[in-house]
Structure formats: structure tokens, C-alpha cells
Chain A
Amino acid sequence: AQKVTQAQTEISVVEKEDVTLDCVYETRDTTYYLFWYKQPPSGELVFLIRRNSFDEQNEISGRYSWNFQKSTSSFNFTITASQVVDSAVYFCALSDLSSGSARQLTFGSGTQLTVLP
């Protein structure tokens, strides 16, 4: 069963629109960590945020905000007033112990966000 689902394969918005990227995860662990990474067209992977399973506080960082809800196993990412530079592939990832004796990072398939000028 897929552990991290990013159902939106591609999203296209016009600059200054708000956009939300969805992430749904599956784990049997009570302690786990969730991450978001950004991959711009240049190809590198950039860490954006980490949340642990005990901290359901939503977080805001500038134009970025994250909504973590354990009840729905979701960790959604919202960009407010999107800009062309936000165009990238965004990955949600889960770190838990269900794959073996050591925590491993499982990535979703990514959402390609295109912000049009």
C-alpha cells in the first residue's frame, strides 16, 4: 500500500493565486515525522519543513503554511500569493519505522506546480 499519496500530479495557477498541495500518509507508528521538500527546475532537493506526530500546530513561514491533521492523516502545504519562482516539484515524505529496524524516508510521487505570470 502506498504510504504517502500526493494525488495532485500537476497544478497550474496564475501568479498571486493561493494554492494548496495535498499530502495523505499511512503509518502504523505512533511516532513519525513528516517532511516537505522542493525540487526546482535546476534539480536539487531543498528541505522546507519537518513536523513530528506529536505536534499538530499549524505553521506559517512567510507565504508558506502547513496544516497537519492526524485525524485525516494529512499534511497539506499552502502557498499564499504564489510567485513564478515557486514553480517546482514539491514532495511530501514520511519517516517511520514500519519499513524496518531503522527509520526510512518514504517519498510521495510529487506535485508539479507551475505558476504562470
Chain B
Amino acid sequence: NAGVTQTPKFRVLKTGQSMTLLCAQDMNHEYMYWYRQDPGMGLRLIHYSVGEGTTAKGEVPDGYNVSRLKKQNFLLGLESAAPSQTSVYFCASSPSTVRPQHFGDGTRLSIL
């Protein structure tokens, strides 16, 4: 059972470069989420999706864009990476907003 798979697991970027993080889930969940985890701050919601073709902003959306073209995939894009975006990024999915979220293993992103 793959569950939630994040690609890549590690990445180093230079300031100004762009990249896309991929999240794929095989549980047919409607809801998908992107979080960032920084030391001492827990997880903060960047963007989320309540179904295929939909996206919405979370607590810290600036500098990120997302797309949900297929139900099983949720992409997180950084158009022009900044050192402040150095973080561990987690993707999660759930069948509903009141059910537990299933998390991927995270992507460690460093912006130099």
C-alpha cells in the first residue's frame, strides 16, 4: 500500500529557481493538503484542495502555487524560490475534513 507518495525526497535549489513538488495518493481521497514544517512552529497549511480541479489558500500561501488536475495528484510549485522557503514539505490526503489525514514522508527543500 503506497498511501501518499511525495517526489522528490530531497532537493537543493538556488535562489530564483523554480520547481514543482509532486504528491500522489492511491486511496481515492477527495481532500489533499500541502504543509510546511519549520523548527518550533509545527506544521502550517500552505494550500489545500477539496476535490479535483479545486484549490484554496491556507495559512501561508504566498510564494506558492498549486494544481489538482487529477484527483490522485496535488502539485506544489515554487515559481521563484527564496531562502525563506527552506523547509520540510508534507503532503496529506483525507476522505473528508473530519477524518484523519494521511501524510507522505516529506520533502526536504533547501534554498541557497
Which of the residues B58, B88, B90, B106 comes within 8 Å of A104, measured between beta carbons? B58
Which of the residues B88, B90, B100, B102 comes within 8 Å of A35, measured between beta carbons? B100
Which one of B43, B44, B50 has the greatest number of beta carbons of chain A within 10 Å? Answer: B43
Q: Of residues 45 to 71 in A, which have CB atoms within 8 Å of B's CB atoms?
A: 45, 47, 50, 52
Known contacts A9-B40, A91-B42, A102-B56; A44 and B106 CB within 8 A of each other: yes
Number of residues on chain B facing chain A (CB within 8 A): 24
Which A residues are in CB contact (< 8 Å) with B33? 105
Q: Is A99 an interface residue (CB 8 A)?
A: yes
Q: Of residues 66 to 102 in B, which have CB atoms within 8 Å of A's CB atoms?
A: 88, 90, 92, 97-102
Which B residues are in CB contact (< 8 Å) with A16? none
Which of the residues B40, B92, B97 comes within 8 Å of A103, measured between beta carbons? B97
How many angstroms from the CA of A90 to the CA of B66 in the assembled complex? 28
How many angstroms from the CA of A43 to the CA of B42 in the assembled complex? 13
Which of the residues B42, B43, B98 comes within 8 Å of A95, measured between beta carbons? B98
Q: Is the interface of B mostly helix, strand, loop or mixed?
A: loop
Contact B50 A43 (CB under 8 A): no
Which A residues are in CB contact (< 8 Å) with B56? 100, 102
How many angstroms from the CA of A35 to the CA of B105 in the assembled complex? 19
How many angstroms from the CA of A44 to the CA of B58 in the assembled complex? 21
Residue of B nearest to A46 (CB): B103
How many angstroms from the CA of A105 to the CA of B105 in the assembled complex? 18
Residue of A nearest to B105 (CB): A44
How many angstroms from the CA of A95 to the CA of B99 in the assembled complex? 10
Interface residues of B (CB under 8 A from A): 33, 40-45, 48, 50, 56, 58-59, 88, 90, 92, 97-103, 105-106
> Knowing that A104-B48, A106-B59 are A-B contacts, what are 5 other residue pairs whose CB atoms are under 8 Å apart, sorted by A's residue number?
A45-B103, A100-B56, A107-B44, A108-B42, A110-B42
Interface residues of A (CB under 8 A from B): 4, 9, 33, 35, 43-45, 47, 50, 52, 91, 95, 99-100, 102-110
A-B contact pairs, 26 of them (CB 8 A): A9-B40, A35-B100, A43-B106, A44-B103, A44-B105, A45-B43, A47-B100, A50-B99, A52-B98, A91-B43, A95-B97, A99-B59, A102-B48, A102-B50, A102-B56, A102-B97, A103-B97, A104-B48, A104-B59, A104-B97, A105-B33, A106-B59, A108-B42, A109-B40, A109-B41, A110-B42
